[in-house]
């Protein structure tokens, strides 16, 4: 199954990889706009601890406010897997539609992921896979709340986490290189750029593979749900007619 998902993702990206990579970098730089203008990245020192903290908080707030663009990128990749035509402007849809909900989704997922990772590394990795379908679900079922979308993502991913890990394993070394450089560089700017570049490079590959996986998991989930509901509906009709 993993091999099939890889092949389908590769087919979906064929002829579009360069464009989607460029969009991935563009999205990354837009989201990190608040961090990029932080003067402490360029060797400047804040006058006080309070000023340094305000720059840090301000950068985080700007990133959270702009992160729905990454949600939009997930939607673009989902459309690509579904053979829909996409344009770069489509990554801005979550900024125009239910913006507050998408910001809330970003914050909640970040907090949950951080808490699980701080607890232990392995649970943090497991939860990363559990939440992987959330942005796709918000696209397909916009009427769901953020918590309901997260819950459904966990349900869809049940029993598939090991396959999900194997699916993205080939690109993990790229991220680990970026993470290693992040901790090795003395310059905060170069450290941040190394992680940004690594993440932007692997994003099209990871998201497209998860999108293919989501399509199959969603179909199987819907089929199971339908098989459970149909006997109940038939029984209800029998009771009403008697």
C-beta separation of 109 from 144 below 8 A: no
167 burial (CB, 10 Å; 0-12 / 13-18 / 19+) is: buried
Q: What one-character DSSP code corresponds to residue 144?
A: S
pLDDT of residue 44: 56
pLDDT of residue 37: 59
Q: Report the b/e string of 124-138 with b at 16+ CB within 10 A.
A: bebbbbbbbbbbbbb
Percent of the chain with pLDDT over 70: 83
Helix ranges, 158-187 (H): 161-168, 172-184
Q: pLDDT tens digit string along 130-171? A: 999 999 999 999 999 999 999 999 999 999 999 999 999 999
Q: pLDDT tens digit string along 9-65? A: 999 999 999 999 999 999 998 888 666 655 555 555 656 666 566 656 767 787 888
Nearest-10 Cα torsion for 98, 99, 101, 102: 120
**Could you tell me how far CA 211 lies from the centroid of its own chain?**
10
Count CA atoms closer than 13 A to 228's CA, side-chain side.
6
Percent of the chain with pLDDT over 90: 64
Q: Cα Rg for the chain, rounded, in angstroms? A: 20
Q: pLDDT tens digit string along 54-105? A: 656 767 787 888 899 999 999 999 999 999 998 999 999 999 999 999 999 9
Higher pLDDT, 168 or 226: 168
Helix ranges, the chain (H): 2-13, 17-31, 33-36, 49-66, 68-81, 93-96, 99-119, 121-130, 134-140, 146-157, 161-168, 172-184, 188-241
**Calpha distance 86→80 (Å, rounded):** 7
pLDDT of residue 142: 94
Count of structural domains within the chain: 1
Higher pLDDT, 192 or 181: 181
Between CA 114 and CA 122, with CA 116 as vertex, the angle to 5 degrees is 115
pLDDT of residue 149: 97
Range of the domain at 41: 2-241
Tokens found for residue 186: 């003395």
**Calpha distance 10→7 (Å, rounded):** 5
How much is the average pLDDT of 232-238? 49
What mean pLDDT, rounded, does the chain reach? 86
Nearest-10 Cα torsion for 212, 73, 79, 90: 180
């Amino acid at each position: 199954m993993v091999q099939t998902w890889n092949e389908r993702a590769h087919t979906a990206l064929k002829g579009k990889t360069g464009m989607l990579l460029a969009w991935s970098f563009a999205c990354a730089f837009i989201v990190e706009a608040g961090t990029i203008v932080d003067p402490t990245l360029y060797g400047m020192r804040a006058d006080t601890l309070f000023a340094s903290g305000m720059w840090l908080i301000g950068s985080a707030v700007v990133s959270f406010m702009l992160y729905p663009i990454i949600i939009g990128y997930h939607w673009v990749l989902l459309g690509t897997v579904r053979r829909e035509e996409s344009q770069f402007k489509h990554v801005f849809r979550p900024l125009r539609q239910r913006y507050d909900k998408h910001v809330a989704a970003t914050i909640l997922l970040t907090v949950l992921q951080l808490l699980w990772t701080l607890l232990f590394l392995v649970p943090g990795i497991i939860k990363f896979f559990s939440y992987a379908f959330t942005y796709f679900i918000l696209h397909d079922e916009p009427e769901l709340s953020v918590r309901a979308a997260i819950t459904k993502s966990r349900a869809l991913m049940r029993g598939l986490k090991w396959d999900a890990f194997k699916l993205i394993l080939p690109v993990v070394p790229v991220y680990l290189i970026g993470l290693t450089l992040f901790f090795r560089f003395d310059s905060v700017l170069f450290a941040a750029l190394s992680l940004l570049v690594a993440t932007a490079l692997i994003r099209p590959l990871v998201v497209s593979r998860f999108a293919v996986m989501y399509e199959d998991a969603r179909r199987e989930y819907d089929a199971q749900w339908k098989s459970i509901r149909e006997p109940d509906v038939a029984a209800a009709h029998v009771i009403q007619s008697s």
